[in-house]
Amino acid sequence: MKYKAIVFDYDGTIVDTERVVYACWRGVFRDHGIDLPLSDWIHAVGAASDAVDPYAMLCQRLGRPVDRSAVESRRRTLEKELLAKEPLRPGIAGLIQEAKHRGLKIAVASNSPYPWVARGLSSYGLVHLFDAVCTPDDGVPPKPDPALYLLAAERLGVTPVEAIAIEDSPHGAAAAMAAGLFCVVVPSELTRDREFPPGCAVKDSLEGMSVDELAALGSESRRS
């Protein structure tokens, strides 16, 4: 079957914001004299944006309340500095450009709030290229529920089996596959040691990968 669309996750897939967000919170924790090991944060990666309450975690570790406004100010400063230096993940720009050139529809399906995704895409000059941006702000549950991917396919005017999902997390891959999309996983720095659902294709990078090569992965998977 010919694929007609590509649906991208945002955080960790288009831009490695997952690493940035973790680095910011780790910096805040270190400001208070304690560490935030990845093992304590990893369950937040790819999950709903409210899956973890870092403030509550910080207060619990310290055994006392913290000045939330001061913490938020410090976190936002770190986030702004780090995001300004963060490039698109390898191969993303080329794949988006090729997909648009060849007439494929493209969308984002993200667990993050819409303003975060739209602002991020805008900062890289990409937002106008996407035919749809789907987030839980649309009133659907977050991944690993398949609703975001089903909504993306609906808005693009394709069936789920006509679309390829690009993901970086187990939650996202599970959501895409449950919705019926073929999923290519490109682990980010934080998810490279995670296990992903059977049936998805796990690649080290999208650098140099074409739409045809993505489609070939999907066709091979559906035959097996």
Whether 9 sits among the annotated catalytic residues: the reply is: yes
46: its two tokens: 């790819």
Question: Which candidate in 9, 16, 145, 168 is catalytic?
Answer: 9
What is the DSSP secondary-structure string of 106-160? EEEE-SS-HHHHHHHHHHTT-GGG-SEEE-GGGS-PPTTSTHHHHHHHHHHT--G
Whether 31 sits among the annotated catalytic residues: the reply is: no
3-state secondary structure of 30: helix
Closest of 94, 105, 84, 83 to residue 11, by C-alpha: 83
- What are the catalytic residues? 9, 11
